[in-house]
Homo-oligomer: A and B are copies of this chain.
């Protein structure tokens, strides 16, 4: 079931260990499900209970620690040896008394790893304040270090195999967006458009199927387009409605996000104007992308373009993305914004989203791209336009 060669996992592990050594970390407790997957292959919706992958600089293989009923899942989906998959009993699950981190501390002691410099992903969703408190209490002789994003940074530059998966994801994104644009019509309920998106995203193509994206379709409509992260309702679209659709295709946990905006009936002049600026700004920014630029410099291209328009955008222009689990497909490392000095390298992948949210409406038209040896490659092939859906006359 492994989506990559074992040699690729071992290469990722090697890079992680190098980074750990440079940071003075001997033991790394990985709780970010994307990082767990990246290094071990582990793939299950079990991150709603505490679990982790332990990487030790003096051990060849990582150790998986998780709930007993998920241990068979770890055996099925990872390249780890069975004896490196360590289950905790069910009475540790959501218990007011026992905490899975007590179990983890016991295992670290057994393995002779309790007096080490231990890295923890301090700002990872699934590493709660309680996790850290319990670990500190149970391991008084350990020195804890903040290893937030340590593995995420290793993930920044994708392998060719990862890029191949993201290109498959881009086919799913195209299919899902086409289904959305087709379905958005006067009188149709928002939930029906969402269902059409899912159908396309998940059933996939004849060659391959789709995985669940880490974010559900974001579909604000009408005046709700003034904010990007609303989902759908069961209201019916009406003539004049503006509809933003932000979605991703996902293949084996690799994403290709994309946003488009549609209008039912005639677009208001100010909507058309903002859409034209977003599209032109997107094109101008993409054309400038080259390896060796910093993330900040990419955003400056957009800012310069926007400087003589009467619009402002005070949110970041984009972010690194790829492999992930809910609630985010972003990698939380590089952002296209002021102050981010990350240097673009071939096979870094970003979602470039010059979304504009005004007080009464918004427009999003975005692209996911890969940095190439000489410039950039947009992953999906989908018209960059404001989609105008005619109002169908009643029969």
Residues of A whose CB lies within 8 Å of any CB of B are 1, 43-48, 68-73, 76-77, 89-91, 93-94, 97, 99, 120, 122-133, 146, 148, 189-192, 194-195, 198-199, 201-204, 208-212, 215-216, 218, 224, 226-234, 314-316, 319, 326-328, 330, 332, 335, 337-339, 355, 357, 359
B127 touching A216, Cβ below 8 Å: no
State how many copies of this chain the complex holds.
2
Query: Cβ of A91: which chain B residues have Cβ within 8 Å of it?
Result: 337-339
In-complex Cβ contact of A68 among B218, B315, B335 (8 A): B315
In-complex Cβ contact of A70 among B73, B229, B335 (8 A): B229
A209 touching B232, Cβ below 8 Å: yes
Least CB distance from A203 to B in Å reads 4
Sample of 12 further A-B pairs with CB below 8 A, known A48-B327, A326-B327 = A44-B229, A69-B315, A72-B359, A123-B129, A125-B125, A132-B132, A191-B209, A191-B210, A198-B199, A208-B234, A212-B231, A326-B326
Complexed CA–CA distance, A210 and B192 (Å):
9
| Prevailing SS type, chain A contact patch | loop
Complexed CA–CA distance, A76 and B228 (Å):
12
B330 touching A48, Cβ below 8 Å: yes
Complexed CA–CA distance, A326 and B216 (Å):
10
Complexed CA–CA distance, A249 and B75 (Å):
30
A45 touching B327, Cβ below 8 Å: yes
- Nearest CB to that of A98 among chain B residues? B339
B229 touching A45, Cβ below 8 Å: yes
Query: Cβ of A226: which chain B residues have Cβ within 8 Å of it?
Result: 72, 76
- Nearest CB to that of A203 among chain B residues? B195
B211 touching A202, Cβ below 8 Å: no
B191 touching A202, Cβ below 8 Å: yes
B230 touching A77, Cβ below 8 Å: yes
**9 contacts across the A-B interface (CB closer than 8 A):** A44-B231, A69-B355, A72-B359, A73-B229, A90-B337, A122-B128, A125-B125, A195-B198, A199-B199
> Which of A72, A129, A218, A330 has most chain B Cβ within 10 Å?
A129
Least CB distance from A28 to B in Å reads 15
Query: Cβ of A123: which chain B residues have Cβ within 8 Å of it?
Result: 99, 128-131
Complexed CA–CA distance, A198 and B91 (Å):
33
In-complex Cβ contact of A129 among B127, B194, B212 (8 A): B127
- Nearest CB to that of A126 among chain B residues? B125
- Nearest CB to that of A246 among chain B residues? B45
Complexed CA–CA distance, A290 and B43 (Å):
39
Given A192-B203, A327-B48, A328-B48, A89 and B314 contact (CB-CB distance below 8 Å): yes
Complexed CA–CA distance, A367 and B10 (Å):
43
